[in-house]
């Protein structure tokens, strides 16, 4: 098990699948679909194997030795004159308690999205090729430990996503696709700049004792590696760390999406086909918060500490603003999209507490939101496939017509509200416990509880409008779930209920890493204040 490069397989299996899909003739529609299903299925199996071999006590974060399933090779190495600098990029992958839940989430959501893609009938070959390329990008982001590698995967997702929304999307797909592309590219230029800035500020000591500039995230996290003149080095009195932190944060925040950078999300969601909405909400949004936790937090711990109140503030705005917007929607899918914005606010709030409870809550919320929102979008997909409308007011009484479906709907809705016994409750409770526990974020956390109330309001109202009441005669022909839809909804429901009743497996998974992160930020606070007084 130790020598098997499981992370590379997880990441690059989809590329292999893409090649197969591209080779297969256009008419072989079934084999194209089956290939994708097999590949994503294998990915799921691999991620479960990974979980089974996972060492729960290893912390990771900034400690290279406690990362697991590590693969590290030199990728680009250009030795040279001192003034041109030694360019060294590693192919460096590994997982810890922060990334493992998200690797698992990616595998689950992608597999289910593949089943959901069964109904795609336009240019199948292109669709699945792009789908698999997207899969590689997502998986890669969660396992990369070299900033350069991370950035490549981060950017790799943009193009497939553009095409997936732009070709297979709804009526305003072109607008939504370009908006998504421009927004995220705008965000990633800041990430690129900070990446280069960090590269010139920190030096890694090689085995032979020589020092080189580095893209290695773990080396960048080590405060002793900073050079005296680096532009992002705390030793340099004119350093730009503050601006870099904000830039990096904006880059990631666009992906979350955090208010006021959220406007691309409703458009993208409404226009994207169901499977892509599922991936977008289930996995892509987590990249923003994951990036903050993986890159911003450990590299700029002192600024994280100082600015945690602002992160919480934006979390709060996201929660309440998203909820209000959701309440005003007439389009079912748009409502879910705004509820996503609201729920991602909980992640921000939890993160900003900087204590074990809050960060665990945030990571758990990422996972739970991934599964719950995937369900919600599938639910919208089910009704849209049959009725070809998403207008909330057009429905009513679907509960009588489609009882089993409505059963799943209730589970998903109540999980989203945060009803005890379902997974959403655990993570939201942890987020609030963490938020109350921290002096800085307490008041903001208290205000944010309003979000729960608003969440219940719009969810229940939707439930009432669509599923209860008088059945509209137009919908007398609607049939209940098909076997394929069971396949998608049942596993997610099981996960939601299981983690609601017994969240320990997931919490144990991240516990060591979260503790390590909290310790790192507290230690760093001491270290950085010894350099200068902030």
Partner 1 sequence: MITLILNNLFGNLQAIYPEIILALTLVALVIFDLIFSRSKKFLPVLSIIGLIITFIFVVFEFGTSRSAFSTSGNISFLSIDGFSSFFKVLILIATLFVVLFSVSSKEVQSCSDRQGEYYALIFGMVIGMFFLVSANDLILIYLSLELLSLSSYVLAGFVKNSVRNSEASLKYVIYGSTSSGIMLFGISILYGITGSTNLFEINSLLKFSNASDITFLIAVIMIFAGIGFKISIVPFHFWTPDVYEGAPISITAFLSVASKAAGFALLIRFIKVTFAQSLSTNGYWQLINYVDWRTLLVLFSIITMTFGNFAALWQDNLKRLLAYSSIAHAGYLMLGVAVLSDQGLMAVMIYFSIYLFMNLGAFFIVMLIANEINSESLDDYKGLGYSIPFLGTALAIFLISLTGLPPTAGFIGKLYLFIALVDAKMITVAIIALLNTVVSLYYYIRVLKALFLTKTDKRVEIKISAFNFIIILVLLAPILIFGVYFSPLVNLAKASIQILGL
Contacts with partner 1 by CB under 8 A lie at 75-78, 80-81, 83-85, 87, 123, 151-152, 155-156, 158-159, 162-163, 166-167, 173-174, 177-178, 181-182, 185-186, 189, 192-193, 196-197, 199-200, 231, 240
Residue 439: which residues within 8 A CB-CB, separation 6 or more?
Answer: none
Would you call 85 exposed, middle or buried from its count of C-beta atoms within 10 A (0-12, 13-18, 19+)? middle
* CB of residue 167 to partner 1, shortest distance in Å: 6
Spell out the residues 6+ positions from residue 251 whose beta carbon is closer than 8 angstroms to its own: 187, 188, 189, 190, 191, 194, 291
Select from 106, 77, 79 the least CA-distant residue to 90. 77
Between 234 and 315, CB nearer to partner 1: 234
Task: Supply the minimum distance, in Å, between the C-beta of residue 414 and partner 1.
Answer: 39
245 vs 346 by CB, closer to partner 1: 245
Give the shortest CB-10-to-partner 1 separation in angstroms: 18
397: left (phi over 0), alpha (psi -120 to 50) or beta: left
Inter-residue long-range contacts of 241-248, CB under 8 Å, 24+ positions, other chains counted: 241/300, 241/303, 242/303, 244/193, 244/194, 244/197, 244/198, 244/300, 245/296, 245/300, 245/303, 245/304, 245/307, 247/190, 247/191, 247/193, 247/194, 248/190, 248/191, 248/194, 248/295, 248/296, 248/300
Give 271 or 485: the residue with its C-beta nearer to partner 1.
271
In angstroms, what is the minimal distance from the CB of 153 to partner 1? Answer: 9
Q: Cβ 253 to partner 1, closest distance in Å?
A: 16
Name the residue nearer to partner 1 (CB basis): 97 or 166: 166
Smallest gap from Cβ 185 to partner 1, in A, equals 5
Reading the block at residue 321, the tokens are 């603003």
Q: How do beta strands 68-78 and 87-95 pair? A: antiparallel
At its nearest, how many Å lie between partner 1 and the CB of residue 349?
Answer: 30
Between residues 240 and 509, which has the closer beta carbon with respect to partner 1? 240
| CA-wise closest residue to 344 among 328, 375, 323 | 323
**Shortest distance (Å) from residue 200 CB to partner 1:** 6
3-state secondary structure 58-126: CCCCCCHHHCEEEEEEEEEEECCCCCCCCEEEEEEEEECCCCHHHHHHHHHHHHHHHHHHHHCCCCHHH
Look at the chain and count its residues.
534
Please, which residue, 177 or 459, has the CB nearer to partner 1?
177
Minimal distance, residue 189 CB to partner 1, in Å: 4
Please say which residue, 199 or 413, places its beta carbon nearer to partner 1.
199
Would you say 253 or 507 has its CB closer to partner 1? 253
Q: Which is nearer to partner 1, 213 or 395 (CB)?
A: 213
């Amino acid at each position: 098990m130790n020598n098997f490069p499981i992370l590379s397989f997880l990441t690059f299996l989809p590329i292999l699948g893409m090649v197969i899909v591209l080779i297969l003739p256009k008419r072989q529609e079934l084999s194209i679909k089956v290939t994708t299903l097999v590949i994503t299925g294998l990915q799921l199996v691999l991620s479960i194997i990974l979980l089974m071999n996972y060492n729960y006590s290893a912390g990771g974060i900034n400690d290279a030795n406690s990362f697991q399933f590590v693969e590290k090779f030199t990728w680009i190495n250009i030795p040279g004159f001192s003034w041109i600098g030694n360019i060294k990029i590693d192919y460096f992958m590994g997982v810890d308690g922060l990334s493992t839940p998200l690797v698992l989430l990616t595998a689950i959501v992608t597999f289910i999205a593949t089943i959901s893609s069964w109904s795609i009938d336009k240019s199948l070959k292109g669709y699945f090729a792009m789908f698999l390329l997207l899969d590689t990008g997502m998986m890669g982001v969660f396992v990369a430990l070299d900033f350069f590698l991370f950035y490549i995967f981060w950017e790799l997702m943009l193009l497939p996503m553009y095409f997936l929304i732009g070709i297979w999307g709804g009526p305003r797909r072109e607008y939504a696709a370009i908006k998504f592309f421009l927004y995220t590219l705008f965000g990633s230029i800041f990430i690129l700049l900070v990446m280069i800035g960090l590269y010139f500020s920190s030096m890694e000591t090689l085995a032979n004792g020589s020092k080189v500039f580095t893209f290695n995230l773990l080396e960048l996290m080590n405060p002793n590696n900073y050079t005296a003149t680096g532009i992002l080095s705390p030793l340099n009195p004119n350093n730009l760390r503050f601006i870099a932190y904000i830039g990096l944060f904006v880059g990631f925040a666009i992906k979350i999406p955090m208010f006021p950078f959220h406007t691309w999300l409703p458009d993208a969601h409404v226009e994207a086909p169901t499977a892509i909405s599922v991936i977008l909400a289930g996995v892509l949004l987590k990249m923003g918060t994951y990036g903050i936790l993986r890159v911003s937090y450990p590299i700029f711990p002192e600024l994280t500490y100082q600015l945690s109140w602002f992160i919480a503030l934006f979390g709060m705005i996201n929660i309440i603003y998203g909820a209000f917007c959701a309440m005003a929607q007439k389009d079912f899918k748009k409502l879910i999209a705004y509820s996503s914005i609201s729920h991602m606010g909980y992640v921000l709030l939890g993160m900003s507490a900087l204590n074990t409870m809050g960060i665990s809550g945030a990571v758990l919320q990422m996972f739970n939101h991934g599964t719950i929102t995937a369900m919600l979008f599938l639910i919208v997909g089910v009704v849209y496939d049959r009725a070809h409308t998403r207008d909330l007011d057009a429905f009513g009484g679907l509960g009588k017509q489609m009882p089993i479906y409505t059963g799943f709907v209730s589970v998903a809705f109540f999980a989203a509200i945060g009803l005890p016994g379902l997974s959403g409750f655990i993570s939201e409770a942890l987020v609030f416990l963490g938020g109350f526990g921290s002096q800085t974020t307490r008041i903001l956390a208290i205000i944010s509880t309003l979000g729960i109330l608003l969440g219940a309001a719009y969810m229940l109202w939707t439930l009432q409008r669509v599923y209860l009441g008088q059945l509209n005669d137009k919908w007398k022909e609607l049939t209940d779930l098909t076997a394929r839809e069971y396949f998608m909804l049942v596993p997610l429901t099981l996960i939601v209920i299981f983690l609601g009743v017994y969240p320990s497996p997931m919490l144990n998974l991240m516990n060591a890493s979260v503790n390590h992160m909290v310790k790192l930020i507290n230690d760093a606070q001491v270290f950085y204040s010894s350099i200068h007084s902030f």
